[in-house]
Amino acid sequence: MAKSPGRLTIFAGTGDLVPHAIDAALAAGYKVQVMALTPRPDITAVKVIVADVANPLAIIWSLKVFRTSHILMVGAIHLPDKAREGLIRFANGNNPTKSASSAPVGDATLAALGTVLKKMTGADLIGVHELSPDLLAPEGHIAGPDVASDDAVFALQTARAIGRLDIGQAAVVSGRRVIAVEDIGGTDDLIARVGTLRRNGLAGDGAARLTLAKAMKPQQPGFADLPAIGPTTVENCAAAGIATIVVEAGRSLLLMRADLLAAADKHGITITGVVIGDE
């Protein structure tokens, strides 16, 4: 039997990517422990510990006991402001003079807290795409009708700009007009909102196609969650009247790819992978 690649603690948020990541880690030979940041009764293949973000020291202790060598953060986390304020104080060593503020911060800044974990445990932070490189979106036409979209680059640049401001990872545009952008409510909320705006006659009745784009937050550490789309994203877009989905090639994830492609074909929704410069 080959040597184990290490002992992996998975910080698990919501979403379909979590069980996939566990399977990929087990297949790669890792010993796996899950710290659930949200209830995950669906996970039974490995030991699950409920992570209490109000008690970061208990989390560190669990990692020490497990002798964690690698840490993976996967799935969306929904931390309210109070939990964020507590984590910032913890990251500052509970030293109120060290930082001018313990005000809540956005998700990209929060993800940088992973470096505190690394420092306190010695474990390496890895990204889910390192376990499953096949998840990464390729460049070019991926699924659905192969129509060129003039708006793809504009859409992706808008998603990137929103990410740079640590607001969200997604944007919906119509031509050169931004319809709505993702906030802390997440992508599904954004798509539903666009559906409402469209039904109210405010967008999407012209020649331009409604286009959803998702891009990585440029300041986001590589181990943090990459933007992802799955079959549900496609179903939601179909319901909202969004005709095109643009993802950042090599920096976003395609979940349940067979189902994703089937959903895109079924609803006639185009999925394209695009590379834009880092500017």
* Residues of the shown chain interacting with its own copies in the complex, contacts defined by CB under 8 A: 78, 80-82, 84-85, 101-106, 109, 150-151, 158, 161-162, 165-167, 174-181, 183-185, 193, 196-197, 201-208
Distances (CA, A) of 149 to 105, 142, 146, 191, 270: 35, 13, 9, 19, 9
Q: How far apart are the C-alpha atoms of 69 and 80, rounded to whole Å?
A: 29
181 — alpha (psi -120 to 50), left (phi > 0) or beta? beta
Which residue from 21, 15, 91 is spatially nearest to 59, judged by alpha carbons?
91
Give min distance, CB of 185 to its own copies, in A: 6
Nearer to its own copies, 207 or 258 (CB): 207
Task: State which residue, 130 or 166, has the beta carbon closest to its own copies.
Answer: 166
**Would you say 56 and 90 are in contact if contact means Cβ atoms under 8 Å apart?**
yes
Pairing of strands 210-214, 170-174: antiparallel
- Give least dist CB 214 to its own copies, A: 16
CB contact set of 95 (below 8 Å; sequence gap of 6+): none
Rg (CA), the chain: 20
* Closer to its own copies by Cβ: residue 105 or 237: 105
Question: Nearest approach, Cβ of 15 to its own copies (angstroms)?
Answer: 16
18 or 162: CB nearest its own copies: 162
Task: Give the nearer residue to its own copies in terms of CB position, either 201 or 277.
Answer: 201
Rounded CA-CA distance 127/199 in Å is 39
Q: Report the nearest approach of its own copies to the CB of residue 154 (Å).
A: 9
Residue 211, Ramachandran bin (φ over 0: left; ψ between -120 and 50: alpha; else beta): beta
Query: Residue 16, Cα to own-chain centre: how many angstroms?
Result: 11
Tell me which H or E stretch contains 173. strand 170-174
Minimum CB distance to its own copies smaller for 7 or for 89: 89
CB of 232 to its own copies, least distance (A): 19
Q: How far is the CB of 268 from its own copies (least distance, A)?
A: 19
**Shortest spacing between CB 210 and its own copies, in angstroms:** 9
- Residue 5 vs 114, nearer CB to its own copies: 114
Residue tagged 């087990």 (tokens): 26
> SS3 of 73, please?
strand
